[in-house]
Amino acid sequence: MIKLLKHLEPREWALFAFSVLFIVAQVWLDLELPDYMSDITRLIQTPGSKMSEIAATGGWMLLCALGSLATSIIVAGIAAKIAANFSARVRSRLFNKVQSFSMEEINSFSTASLITRSTNDITQVQMLIVIGLQLLIKAPLLAVWAILKITGKSWQWSLATGTAVGVLIVIVGICVVLVLPKFQKLQVLTDNLNRVARENLTGIRVIRAYNAEKYQEDKFGTANDELTRTNLFANNVLSAMMPSITLIMSGLSLAIYWIGAVMIQSADAGAKMGLFSDMIVFSSYAMQVVMAFMMLIIIFILMPRAHVSAKRINEVLETRPSLTDGSLTAAPSSHSGEVEFRNVSFKYPDAEDYVLKNISFTAKKGETVAFIGSTGCGKSTVVNLIPRFYDATSGEVLVGGINVNQYEQSALRNKMGYVSQKAVLFGGTVTSNIAFGDNGRDLNSDVVDAVYTSQAADFVEKMDGSYDAHIAQGGTNLSGGQKQRLSIARAIARRPEILIFDDSFSALDYKTDRKLRSELKKESRGTTMLIVAQRIGTIKDADKIIVLEAGQIAGMGTHEELMESCSIYQEIAYSQLSKEELA
Ligand SMILES: Nc1ncnc2c1ncn2[C@@H]1O[C@H](COP(=O)(O)OP(=O)(O)OP(=O)(O)O)[C@@H](O)[C@H]1O
């Protein structure tokens, strides 16, 4: 928690220090009230007292109460402002941190947990700060000040108050011990609920198509029930605390009046009135002492959950991204646009086996290199090493003759246009999706050309608003092929040195696929292209085709060469095309 509080700025600490003045004023005003009450009691009991005197004392009492209210509003306002600014800052630092993560860190935390940590966990800490800033100084100050005011009045009353506070501490201690482990569990269960809810929403079409609503409902129900059970347990324990506190407060009042009654009865006539007034004042102060402990209890209730949340937030903030940034921004012009793998092997973090083994090839500037092979043989993994979504476990991946980890990540990625296997579109317009990101140029001017090259013009220009047409989040208002063409346009609009297509033509019909590739060839002369494909037709004209089998290169060459020499390639080719087409 302390570590997380380092994110508070000096200005906010200064504001907090300023609010302490108001807290002191508030406590002083609160503790003035019993004194005025004692005065009024004395005035009422003194024969010959004037009504105006009582009214004046009552007026001061009212002023103190209003003053206390005003100071508490000011303190609450300051606390809310500090806490809101703090959580906004931590949220944005968390967001930036996650942006810097490689897939390795994102997978290890899980997307659902990262969302809970950026939302629910920050809210827990924010709540503690709001309440803590108001009560953490006030409660001990009020307790000590009130105790000082009543010490020396009567040891019997003091003993009763001390006993009440002792019992209160024991009850709270038991409750905290009972609920503490549940708070830890609550956050993990919230992660789980988030995960199931996310999965349900993203997979809604498949769920409906397979009538799997009941299955998903059960899955959600299990996660929800477990969260509810844990929440209920924690809340039941905490709610049992409130009646106990009320019981203690009432019991303490009763004890003070009982002791007072006995004392007054045995006192002589002259001392009776003073004792009665003392009893009223003492019981008010004793209530303040108990109230102060109650405030501390509230903090103790919020603390464990906020502590768990703070730990979870810190875990993310303190994780060092496994991808370290290099310093280079450009490659020597003699090698520009070149991609080379030198004996690259790779295994996914936490996986036992290597997914790629000793991969070596070179794609020269302007060349088209294609990857083909059975599903799961490692084609996507090869191309994902080029923009450093992951780093090679051994060997070297070079772009422009330089190891990719020597580049600044943004400079490296500016050299590339990457089209992922699953087309990803963002909420916005056609233009905002194509002129996406930043590569140091105004991309807007290239949007129309890119749309024509990617064969997307026919549907984009028919859309309502054309290039300004609305695209829903995830591109849900477009067909699979349309989404693919827009993601291809996004890569082309960057006019990069290297274009990477990870199985990006699969949703296109053969005619569009052929047209798109021939336009691409014309428009992107000099651009190195790396194409992962399942269809021989898509890659037949490539300068080099690499056949992968279980993470290893099983053949490399042109279509004709591989048809001669590589049995795996022949198998794939014959399964897709007739002998006449291949001839
Ligand atoms: N994030 C990951 N963590 C662990 N293993 C992974 C991960 N992604 C992929 N793999 C494994 O790596 C292997 C290669 O996957 P890859 O996606 O590169 O295959 P692919 O040849 O592109 O397959 P496809 O043609 O089906 O897209 C597979 O066995 C897969 O199970």
Which residue, judged by its Cα, is nearest atom 20 of ligand 1?
Answer: 376
Which atom, in ligand 1's list, is nearest to the CA of 378? 18
Which residue, judged by its Cα, is nearest atom 28 of ligand 1?
Answer: 376
Residue 579 has a pLDDT of: 52
Above pLDDT 90, what percent of the chain? 32
Distance 339 CA to ligand 1 centre (A): 21
Strand order in the sheet with 544-549: 416-419, 498-502, 528-532, 368-373, 544-549, 552-557
Residue 329 has a pLDDT of: 77
Distance 559 CA to ligand 1 centre (A): 25
How far is C-alpha 138 from the geometric centre of its chain's CA atoms?
Answer: 32
Q: What is the ipTM of this complex?
A: 0.95
Distance 390 CA to ligand 1 centre (A): 13
Residue 418 has a pLDDT of: 93
CATH top-level class for 2-318? mainly alpha
335: left (phi over 0), alpha (psi -120 to 50) or beta: alpha
Instruction: Indicate whether 577 pLDDT > 70.
Output: no
Separation between Cα atoms, residue 558 and residue 556, nearest integer Å: 7
Which residue, judged by its Cα, is nearest atom 5 of ligand 1?
Answer: 348
Residue 491 has a pLDDT of: 92
| Lookup: tokens for 438 | 């930043």
Instruction: Indicate whether 580 pLDDT > 60.
Output: no
Please enumerate in sequence order all residues whose Cβ is within 8 A of that of 274, keeping only pairs 6 or more positions apart, or say none: none
Domain boundaries along the sequence of the chain: 2-318, 326-415+497-583, 421-495
Distance 376 CA to ligand 1 centre (A): 5
* Three-class DSSP category at 84: helix
Which atom, in ligand 1's list, is nearest to the CA of 381? 18
Separation between Cα atoms, residue 445 and residue 447, nearest integer Å: 6
pLDDT band at 224 (very low <50, low <70, confident <90, very high): very high
pLDDT band at 581 (very low <50, low <70, confident <90, very high): low
421-495 matches 326-415+497-583 in CATH topology = yes
Pocket of ligand 1 (CB under 6 A): 107, 348, 351, 355, 373, 375-381, 421, 503
pLDDT band at 116 (very low <50, low <70, confident <90, very high): confident
Distance 375 CA to ligand 1 centre (A): 8
Q: Which residue did the predictor score with more confidence, 163 or 296?
A: 163
Which atom, in ligand 1's list, is nearest to the CA of 103? 1
Which atom, in ligand 1's list, is nearest to the CA of 371? 21
Q: How far is CA 3 from CA 127, 158, 307, 582, in A?
A: 17, 40, 11, 66
Q: Which residue did the predictor score with more confidence, 482 or 522?
A: 482
Distance 68 CA to ligand 1 centre (A): 65
Torsion of CA 155, 158, 162, 163, to 10 degrees: 70
Residue 162 has a pLDDT of: 87
CATH top-level class for 326-415+497-583? alpha beta
- What is the per-residue pLDDT across 38-81, written as a single tens digit (0 to 9) for each? 888 888 877 888 888 889 999 999 999 999 999 999 999 999 99
Instruction: Find the mean pLDDT for residues 305-313.
Output: 87
Which atom, in ligand 1's list, is nearest to the CA of 532? 22
Q: Which residue did the predictor score with more confidence, 43 or 532?
A: 532
Which atom, in ligand 1's list, is nearest to the CA of 421? 27
Instruction: Indicate whether 1 pLDDT > 80.
Output: no
Which residue, judged by its Cα, is nearest atom 23 of ligand 1?
Answer: 376
Instruction: Find the mean pLDDT for residues 345-364.
Output: 91
Instruction: Indicate whether 583 pLDDT > 80.
Output: no
- What is the per-residue pLDDT across 407-454, written as a single tens digit (0 to 9) for each? 988 889 988 999 988 888 999 999 999 988 777 777 777 888 899 998
pLDDT band at 126 (very low <50, low <70, confident <90, very high): very high
Q: Which of 103, 108, 322, 381 best tests ligand 1's pocket when mutated (most atoms within 8 Å of CB)?
A: 381
Instruction: Select from 3.40.50.2000, 3.30.2130.10, 3.40.50.300, 3.40.50.720 the CATH code of 421-495.
Output: 3.40.50.300
Q: Which residue did the predictor score with more confidence, 525 or 424?
A: 424
Instruction: Indicate whether 498 pLDDT > 90.
Output: yes
Which residue, judged by its Cα, is nearest atom 25 of ligand 1?
Answer: 375
Mean pLDDT for the chain overall: 87
The least confident of 210-224, 390-404, 500-514, 550-564 is 500-514
Distance 391 CA to ligand 1 centre (A): 15
Q: Which candidate, 550, 531, 551, 549, places its Cα nearest to that of 541?
A: 531
